[in-house]
């Protein structure tokens, strides 16, 4: 089911907690993925908004889209994508 934002209900329900968890406990993954995909080095980058095919990262007052290889249809698929990029881009950590 889609919301008025044109986002699936599952994504709306989990967005706040996923963003908080990632920013609090896995900030290094956000930073390394931003570095890998956009060549931006910012230790203060934060996950900002979730989309089914990635997420927006806030860095130095600008938003950058982090693109997933797959579109996610549930939270488990989203976790798989986040973990995949955390591992793939570990060597981009600052």
Per-residue model confidence as pLDDT tens digits over 5-26: 678 999 999 999 999 999 999 9
- List strand residue ranges (DSSP E) for the chain, in order: 46-51, 54-59, 62-67
Q: Looking at residue 7, what is its pLDDT?
A: 86
**88 assigned to some structural domain:** yes
Phi and psi for 65 in degrees, rounded to 5?
-90, 125
Paired with 66 in beta bridges are 55
Look at residue 4 and tell me whether its pLDDT is greater than 90: no
Total domains, the chain = 1
* CATH code at position 25: 3.20.180.10
What is the domain extent for residue 88?
15-92
**pLDDT tens profile 54-89:** 999 999 999 999 999 999 999 999 999 999 999 999
41-71 b/e with 16+ CB inside 10 Å = b? ebeebbbbebbbebbebbbeeeebebebeee
Two tokens at 25? 């406990």
């Amino acid at each position: 089911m889609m919301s008025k934002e044109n986002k699936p209900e599952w994504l709306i329900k989990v967005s706040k907690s996923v963003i908080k968890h990632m920013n609090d406990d896995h900030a290094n993954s956000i930073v390394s993925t931003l570095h890998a995909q956009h060549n931006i080095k910012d230790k203060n980058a934060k996950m900002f908004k979730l989309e089914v095919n990635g997420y927006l990262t806030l860095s130095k007052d600008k938003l950058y889209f982090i693109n997933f290889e797959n579109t996610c249809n549930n939270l488990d698929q989203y976790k798989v994508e986040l973990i995949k990029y955390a591992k793939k881009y570990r060597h981009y950590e600052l």
